[in-house]
Amino acid sequence: MSILEVRDIHKSFGGNRVLKGVSFSVKEGEIVGIVGPNGSGKTTLMNIINGVIRQDKGSILLMGKDISSLRPSGRAKLGMGRTFQITRLFSNLTVLENVLIPLHYGSPLPATEETAIEIIEAVGLSHKIRDRAGSLSLAQRKRLELARAIALKPKVLLLDEVFAGLNPVSIREIVELLLKLNREKGITLILVEHVLKALFKLTRRVLVLSEGRLIFEGSPEGMVKDPEVIKAYLGERYLKDESA
């Protein structure tokens, strides 16, 4: 059965038609990648799936239930987690406090320091537990953003460019962490990503969004050979990166 169903989503901002009928479904326990050029509507699609913005047309189903009219907090309670392309942390609070907040508000997990510490260990931030979020590096802020999403015990986790700006070591560590979350906790992962090398270590199924429409759905191997995907997204940049 599908854990998530996205049905014919349309969205315009003023006269700008950003999503033009996007439909796909994700099975429980799957890892799916969504890629596409800048401005193709990926973040808008994530925002619609978790309820940050409302679609003009279409619906979102979580475990068969239409959640289109719920706010993000209501969707989170049903198991929809999310990290943001631009991290949304409380800079003046410590790492521990940043994780305790979602544990206190809306998580089925016990809102104890012990739970928070366990999650912080899982994302590799134990050594920063008493540091203010504002003092963290980009890679550490991304780990903390992930910890805050995990604290809500999601069934489906949406990740918007979790690898952007990270060095290869951090990327490898976060790939391992995500694989562990998927295997051990059964969390379904949907990743919007430009770092294809990392994405392809995680997923066997990729969707390509271009100008608000899905132009490809299939394996990474199929994707990199698809003429329309090469034209719309990969172009010379990818071919150059791969030969480097």
Ligand X SMILES: Nc1ncnc2c1ncn2[C@@H]1O[C@H](COP(=O)(O)OP(=O)(O)OP(=O)(O)O)[C@@H](O)[C@H]1O
| Interface ranges with Mg ion (CB under 5 A) | 42-43
Residue 222: Cβ within 10 Å count: 13
- Asked if 82 is part of the footprint of ligand X (rule: CB under 6 A), the reply reads no
Closest separation in Å from C-beta 195 to Mg ion:
13
CA–CA separation, 3 vs 242, rounded Å? 34
Quick check: 39 binds ligand X (CB under 6 A)? yes
Shortest Cβ distance from residue 210 to ligand X (Å)?
A: 10
Which of ligand X, Mg ion, none has residue 105 at its interface (CB below 5 to 8 Å by kind)? none
Q: Rule CB under 6 A: say whether 51 interacts with ligand X.
A: no
Q: How far apart are CA 123 and CA 141, in angstroms?
A: 11
> 3 with 63: CB under 8 angstroms?
yes
Residue nearer to Mg ion on the CB measure, 120 or 162: 162
Q: How far is the CB of 36 from ligand X (least distance, A)?
A: 6
Farthest-apart Cα atoms in the chain, separation: 52
Contacts of 177 (CB under 8 A, 6+ apart): 122, 123, 124, 146
Least distance to ligand X, CB of residue 166, Å: 16
Sign of CA pseudo-dihedral 200, 201, 205, 206? negative
Looking at beta carbons only, is 39 or 165 nearer to ligand X? 39
Residue 86 within binding range of ligand X, rule CB under 6 A: no
Half-sphere exposure of 129 (CA within 13 A, CB side): 14
**Residue 43 interacting with ligand X (CB under 6 A):** yes
Sequence length of the chain is 244
Nearer to ligand X, 39 or 168 (CB): 39
Residue 155, contacted partner among Mg ion, ligand X, none, CB below 5-8 A by kind: none
Kindly list the residues in this chain that would bind ligand X in the complex (CB under 6 A): 13, 16, 18, 36, 38-44, 85
